[in-house]
């Protein structure tokens, strides 16, 4: 028996020969993923990565200090939506993913914007409003959030302007029950909620316009968007904390 025949008879040789060659499409996809990752600003996702554990700790504290079962439930909904927002965003933006995984994470990332809006409203609606108005507002807010999630699941490539309009529309639905909030919430948390809404809205505009883009290699327009979302979250977390502690 020749040496070549002996090599072919070895199990490892047969295994190597039966291994399918790398597909050209796989190589192209991997190269595209590398190029996309290299093109991102170097701080992309790291701000949300640092915020995610802080949001978790803040959420646990909020639930722990909530005085009633309703307040704990509302706090948990808010905390979960916040942790999902920052952790999913960090996972999507920091990691290097295949095309299919990146698309799934992007859907989740964009969908979480609807969830954080509804999650932020929940403590106010559940603890400040009552009767049919509370039920109607919860149904409206979470119904719109569910529709937004489905919208992102099935139309990931929707124009930025359309996504921005939908985010802003859900974000400012509170104007429908602003008089009731004014009667039931102290001035300080109400102002913080409005400031947070303005910051979220500015972030949405930066996301839609891709401007300003000060340092594309390190800190671009998307990082400004993330900074504004973090600042908005801090403002509204303080407002939620006040409402949970005083009206829960």
Task: Pick out the residues of the known binding site for Zn(2+).
Answer: 93, 222, 226
Secondary structure (DSSP) of the chain: --HHHHHHHSHHHHHHHHSPPPPHHHHHHHHHHHHHHHHS-TTTTHHHHHHHHHHHHHHHHHHHH--SHHHHHHHHHHHHHHHHHHHHHHHHHHS---HHHHHHHHHHHHHHHHHHHHHHHHHHHHHH--HHHHHHHHHHHHHHHHHHHHHHHH-TT--HHHHHHHHHHHHTGGGGGHHHHHHHS-HHHHHHHHHHHHHHHHHHHHHHHT---SBTTTB-HHHHHHHHHHHHHHHHHHHHHHHHHHH-
Which residue in 204, 180, 188, 199 sits closest to 240, CA to CA?
A: 188
Distance CA 163, CA 148 (A): 9
Annotated binding site: 93, 222, 226
Task: Name every residue whose Cβ is closer than 8 Å to that of residue 217 and which is 6 or more positions away in sequence.
Answer: 41, 42
Q: Are 213 and 220 in contact (CB under 8 A)?
A: yes
């Amino acid at each position: 028996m020749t040496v070549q025949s002996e090599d072919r008879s070895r199990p490892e040789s047969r295994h190597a020969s039966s291994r399918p060659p790398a597909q050209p499409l796989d190589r192209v996809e991997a190269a595209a993923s590398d190029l996309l990752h290299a093109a991102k600003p170097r701080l992309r996702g790291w701000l949300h990565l640092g915020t995610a554990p802080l949001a978790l700790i803040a959420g646990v504290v909020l639930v722990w200090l909530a005085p009633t079962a309703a307040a704990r439930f509302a706090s948990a909904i808010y905390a979960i939506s916040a942790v999902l927002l920052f952790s999913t965003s960090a996972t999507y933006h920091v990691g290097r993913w295949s095309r299919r995984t990146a698309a799934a994470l992007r859907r989740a990332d964009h969908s979480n914007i609807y969830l954080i809006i509804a999650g932020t409203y929940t403590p106010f609606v559940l603890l400040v409003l009552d009767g049919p108005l509370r039920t109607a507002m919860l149904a409206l807010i979470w119904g719109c959030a569910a529709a937004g999630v489905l919208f992102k699941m099935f139309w990931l490539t929707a124009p930025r302007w359309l996504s921005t309009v939908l985010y802003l529309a859900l974000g400012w639905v509170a104007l429908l029950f602003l008089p009731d909030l004014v009667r039931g919430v102290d001035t300080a948390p109400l102002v913080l909620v409005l400031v947070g809404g303005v910051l979220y809205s500015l972030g949405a505009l930066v996301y839609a316009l891709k401007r300003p883009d000060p340092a594309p290699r390190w800190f671009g327009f998307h990082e400004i968007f993330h900074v504004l979302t973090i600042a908005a979250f801090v403002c509204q977390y303080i407002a939620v904390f006040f409402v949970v502690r005083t009206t829960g």
